[in-house]
Amino acid sequence: MIFLRTCVSSVVVLFATSALANTAPDINAAQLSCLLEPSQQVDISSQAPGVVNVVHMERGDQVRKGQKLLELDSAIQNAAYVTAKARASFAKRKVARNKNLLEKKLLSDLERDELLTEAELAKLMLKEAQALVRQRTVYSPLNGVVVQKNISVGEYVGSEPVAKLVALDPLYVEVIMKSDVYGSLTKGMTVEVQPERDGRRYEGKIKIVDKIIDAASGTFGVRIELPNPEFILPAGLKCQAFFKAS
């Protein structure tokens, strides 16, 4: 009887040890930090220096890609554009008047070359003038929010940033995980994110799983892409990510 009890006890201990060995680490318990961040952050500068004529933005404004943010004084550039346009129009009419002579090859090679080259140069000068006028306006490169405005009407703009924009759709959720669960998370995996002070969970997908584990802390990073089309969620909130083991 004593022998039988000893065997049974050994089997129970062996079974318990085996069960512990096969228990997978809790992914959510391995989460150390979670933060909502903008998916883009851009310092906006002007392509050309000059004095600010009109400002079309304020801090907190939502802006669309291609929207005007500010305009510089462009009186000189507009005058140059008008002149270039007149020259291009004249060169075009000159070619039209000599069309018959060109078609019948009654002009010398030099005359033909001068006529066509003059028209082409006038066209290029018009494009250059248009580009210089366009440089006097600063446009938004993305859909986002103005978080900083550094310029006012009448101020001179050089190379320094005139504003800072952030993109809040999508948001990036930056999560720091313990290395114990490395390999359990994969790109494209669906994740639920719950921001602090918000009882709701929002669905996102893993965009990046770092390929390097930080040796000092024994951690790695995960980036989740979280749709935020109505800008309901602000950046900067702490959060909790809920992963589903694959």
Is 26-42+163-242 assigned to CATH 3.30.70.141? no
- What is 74-135's CATH number, 3.30.750, 1.10.287, 1.20.120, 1.10.600? 1.10.287
Q: Which of 34, 37, 27 is nearest to 185 (CA)?
A: 27
| Residue 188 near residue 53, CB atoms below 8 Å | no
Instruction: Say what the pLDDT of residue 103 is.
Output: 79
Sites in the chain below the pLDDT cut of 70: 1-25, 245-246
Q: How confident is the model at residue 25, as a pLDDT?
A: 63
- C-alpha–C-alpha distance, residues 24 and 32, integer Å: 18
- 69 three-class SS: strand
Domain extents for the chain? Answer: 26-42+163-242, 74-135
Pick the closest to residue 222 from 168, 181, 170 (CA basis).
181
Reported pTM: 0.76
Strand partners, 208: 223
